[in-house]
Chain A
Amino acid sequence: MTDNVWEYAPAPESREIANLKPNYRMFVGGEFVDGTGEPLKSVNPATEEVLAEVATAAPSDVDRAVAAARKAYDELWGRMPGAERAKYLFRIARLIQERSRELAVLESLDNGKPIKESRDVDIPTAAAHFFHHAGWADKLAYAGYGPEPRPVGVAGQVIPWNFPLLMAAWKIAPALACGNTLVLKPAETTPLTALVLAEILQQAELPPGVVNILPGAGDVGAQLVQHSGIDKVAFTGSTEVGKEIQRSLAGTGKRLTLELGGKAANVVFDDAPLDQAVEGIVNGIFFNQGHVCCAGSRLLVQESVADELLEKLRYRVSTLRLGDPLDKNTDVGAINSKAQLEKIRELTASGDAEGAERWTSPCPVPEKGFFFAPTVFSNVHQAMRIAREEIFGPVLSVLTFRTPTEAVTKANNTPYGLSAGVWTEKGSRIFWLAERMRAGVVWANTFNRFDPSAPFGGYQESGFGREGGRAGLEAYLDV
């Protein structure tokens, strides 16, 4: 299946570009400071080597960071004219662009994602997010939330490890544009690019305390969101933790937005251009190793084309190149952590046990590092765990349907509701289906597209609130 035609010479990006330092410190009140928590070691998931030691926050550090954010909000940022805030955000956007290569290599080292994705998606989209929101800062009166919408205050933000810098941008840019200050906690396994972003904030001369970054594990996140000095909490991560946060904020009056898990249906009709659909399916589930909350993890294929599509799909997946994230030819990188790899193994084992048919790409898998070969389960039924639970890995579950109504029923048969896909040549059917999908984003004849001007967020247990566009501003305005 994989002929010599697919043999590529290695084309690795140099890891020197990442300017990796042996130690990284927290960012509080405009300065890098030692944390009083137990330092963590950030690991390169592709090699299992320690990349750097990173300071973490203890409760006293959380107090300090929240106090710094409050001071900056009260004394400066909360009353600064929008036009001035805007210029800081534009500066940040530019600095990210200027240091994009460094950030991309560092992101791939720390996260395990292919360099072509960090280079072409994560970093440019992060810069674009700042650039887009910069323009909002002095135009909030036109956003439809009243003539003079006010910021909420101090935000506590907790982000996941799948798009470390991009998620930081999604959280920081709208918060600052609307006049809030914040404390951000990057994920335990991927803190590095957020701390380089802190350097960028210094270079942009962002006033001290406006943004504070506290690395650490879940305990730091819990301390942050429960801190009495926080007015608003924004969380992106698992539905399980999201529910805990929502519970913990009950009765506090703190504002909350949640962007949680998903189990998106990607629906392929018999009239779809199958080769294009295959590209979209592959992008939908193997992009970023499937570590995507909106991944198209449930493929719903119309029965009449299921065999043909599966054959094409398996061939295409077998050509995906798994391996060194820094290699520019790599399509699928490393699983972010050992824990995540174990979760993927456990869930895929349940697929075997429940009678689904497993197919694994015959691609070579590196001996070292956390890797999982692209996997497609067919003969999947709705009751199986691999059809219901978020795997968050390069694993696709294939189900079939006969009628459009059945497709909608199966697609919506989930407590999640983050995204959905549809593939068909028939325009009216696209809109018919898009209207009925209970999901916050519907990709028609495409998948996994993101843009700062396009609101993103979930229905039901995929969370509430939006990020991006006019709708995303609501999360950071007192309206």
Chain B
Amino acid sequence: MSDTRLAVAKTYKLFVGGAFPRSESGRSYPVTDRKGRFLANAAQASRKDVREAVAAARKAFAPWSGATAHNRGQVLYRVAEMLEARREEFVAEVTAAEGIPAKRAQVAVDAAIDRWVWYAGWTDKVATVLGAANPVSGPYFCFSVPEPTGVVGVLAPQSSALLGLVSVVAPVIATGNTCVVLASEERPLPAITLAEVLATSDVPGGVVNVLTGRTAELAPWLASHSDVNALDLAGAPGELRADLERSAADTVKRVLRAPVTEPDWARQPDISRLRAFLETKTVWHPTGI
């Protein structure tokens, strides 16, 4: 009987505000493996979907940034747990998406899981490492703390469909930012499956919003949206980058530029991606009796 059973194929949709809607535009586009074989249809998000996602991210920002660092660490660690449980599924998806041997896909998935663990451990150390008690000249107690920048627009890496994606999303949310992620245009399926992991890992709805679709169509709307505070150009096509930076300037967005070629995401990260989406707040109070 199992020989004749038809598998139940998954419908890949967007991930916005904790829900999985189709694009409001009703559009979808076929996703194939590296050999051109059809894998699934992905939702082709529109400008309106970008705006909905930004609204969801903004709504989630106050509670997520206000959660304790310990709590955020627990949630990120929970993502690693859920990802571990679905390891085989991700290996298959990454193999199909990236056209690499299963062995290499397995290494990438393992690294992605470990990356969540690494960033989970950072949530309650960032303020210790980047904050300071400032020895000012005068009768004041003065301290500085890192705070999340706000809503970050993330252009996920185009090649590394899971490890690259996790490497850019985890540091953004670890410190309390929320984000709108444009998944890899041609390899979007692992991103949506990751969204299923996030949805079952106590990550509050809206903290991560994942859109699939045409990067060149969607990225300019994200870059020019005035309620987006920062932009990660990791997966921005080279020919779009200058325009996106120009749009970002209209509201003085923080822009994290990307190297010309996609970096090796397997390398152990440092804290520069955490630092990129942090503000420093300095607080003064007089001392005295």
A453 and B136 in contact, given A246-B249, A471-B280 (Cβ under 8 angstroms): yes
The complex places the Cα of A453 from the Cα of B144 at a distance, in Å, of 10
Picked from B138, B245, B252, the residue with its CB within 8 Å of the CB of A250 is: B245
Q: Does B261 contact A (CB under 8 A)?
A: no
Instruction: Scan residues 421-479 of chain A and give those whose CB is less than 8 A from a CB of chain B.
Output: 430, 434-435, 437, 439-446, 449, 451, 453-457, 459-464, 466, 469-471, 474, 479
A239 touches B284 (CB 8 A): no
Q: Does B266 contact A (CB under 8 A)?
A: no
B285 touches A446 (CB 8 A): yes
The complex places the Cα of A472 from the Cα of B257 at a distance, in Å, of 20
> CB-CB < 8 A to A441: which residues of B?
281-284
A454 touches B282 (CB 8 A): yes
The complex places the Cα of A144 from the Cα of B142 at a distance, in Å, of 20
Q: Does A175 contact B (CB under 8 A)?
A: no
B252 touches A451 (CB 8 A): no
B138 touches A460 (CB 8 A): no
> CB-CB < 8 A to B244: which residues of A?
250
> CB-CB < 8 A to A250: which residues of B?
242-246, 248-249
Q: Does B36 contact A (CB under 8 A)?
A: no
The complex places the Cα of A128 from the Cα of B137 at a distance, in Å, of 9
Q: Which residue of A lies closest to B129 (CB)?
A: A144
Q: Does A251 contact B (CB under 8 A)?
A: yes
A454 touches B252 (CB 8 A): no
Q: Which residue of B lies closest to A444 (CB)?
A: B285
Q: Does B134 contact A (CB under 8 A)?
A: yes
Q: Does B216 contact A (CB under 8 A)?
A: no
Q: Does B264 contact A (CB under 8 A)?
A: no
Q: Which residue of A lies closest to B149 (CB)?
A: A459
Q: Which residue of B lies closest to A258 (CB)?
A: B252
Q: Which residue of B lies closest to A431 (CB)?
A: B283
> CB-CB < 8 A to B251: which residues of A?
415, 460-461
Q: Does B26 contact A (CB under 8 A)?
A: no
> CB-CB < 8 A to B214: which residues of A?
none
The complex places the Cα of A16 from the Cα of B14 at a distance, in Å, of 72
Q: Which residue of A lies closest to B137 (CB)?
A: A451
Cβ contacts B223-256/A at 8 Å (1 or 0 each): 0000001000000000001111110111110100
Q: Which residue of B lies closest to A430 (CB)?
A: B285
Q: Which residue of B lies closest to A450 (CB)?
A: B136
Q: Does A243 contact B (CB under 8 A)?
A: yes
The complex places the Cα of A430 from the Cα of B141 at a distance, in Å, of 13
Picked from A239, A430, A453, A457, the residue with its CB within 8 Å of the CB of B134 is: A453
B252 touches A242 (CB 8 A): yes
CB distance from A91 to the nearest CB of B (A): 20
> CB-CB < 8 A to B272: which residues of A?
479
CB distance from A96 to the nearest CB of B (A): 15
B132 touches A471 (CB 8 A): yes
Q: Does B270 contact A (CB under 8 A)?
A: yes
A444 touches B284 (CB 8 A): yes
Picked from B136, B229, B252, the residue with its CB within 8 Å of the CB of A449 is: B136
A243 touches B279 (CB 8 A): no
A442 touches B129 (CB 8 A): no
Q: Does A364 contact B (CB under 8 A)?
A: no
Q: Does A368 contact B (CB under 8 A)?
A: no
Cβ contacts B135-155/A at 8 Å (1 or 0 each): 111101010100001100000
Q: Which residue of B lies closest to A421 (CB)?
A: B284
A446 touches B279 (CB 8 A): no
The complex places the Cα of A146 from the Cα of B272 at a distance, in Å, of 10
A247 and B246 in contact, given A446-B284, A454-B144, A454-B284 (Cβ under 8 angstroms): yes
| A interface residue numbers (CB < 8 A to B) | 128, 144, 146, 239, 242-244, 246-247, 249-251, 253, 258, 260, 415, 430, 434-435, 437, 439-446, 449, 451, 453-457, 459-464, 466, 469-471, 474, 479
Q: List 8 A-B contacts (CB under 8 A).
A: A247-B250, A251-B246, A430-B285, A434-B281, A440-B280, A457-B280, A459-B149, A461-B252
Nearest 10 interchain pairs by C-beta: A251-B242, A250-B245, A246-B249, A451-B136, A250-B246, A247-B249, A454-B134, A444-B285, A461-B252, A453-B134
